[in-house]
Amino acid sequence: MVISVEDLPPADIMGKADPYVIFQMKKTELKNKSRVINDSQNSAGYQTFDFVMVDGLHDMLILEVYDHVTFGKDYMGRCILTLTRVILEG
């Protein structure tokens, strides 16, 4: 479950962003995407995503935050977590 992504930097001239998060398992390359939150600096509030873990002790979860724009996406940031840490800390 993703609780939230907060306090993102402004991505447009109005000081807002249209953020969303792409979640990817490194080994299997399975992906999920959160919904876009328009005109906000926060994203992914209370969404649940399911992944099949092949090697939970050695795989990583990659989270990349993007700003949705009319023609594509703008990269905002990334976080990489080992699944061992995710499993142990929840």
Query: Which domains are seen in the chain, by residue range?
Result: 19-89 (2.60.40.150)
The rounded percent of the chain whose pLDDT value lies above 90 is: 1
Task: Provide the residue type at 56 as one letter.
Answer: G
Task: Give the model's pLDDT for residue 15.
Answer: 74
**Residue 25: band (very low, low, confident or very high) from pLDDT cuts 50, 70, 90:** confident
Q: Which residue has the higher pLDDT, 15 or 25?
A: 25
Contact 33, 21 (CB under 8 A): yes
Structure tokens at 14: 């109005």
pLDDT greater than 80 at residue 68: yes
Binning pLDDT at 50, 70 and 90, where does residue 3 land? low
Tokens found for residue 24: 């990817």
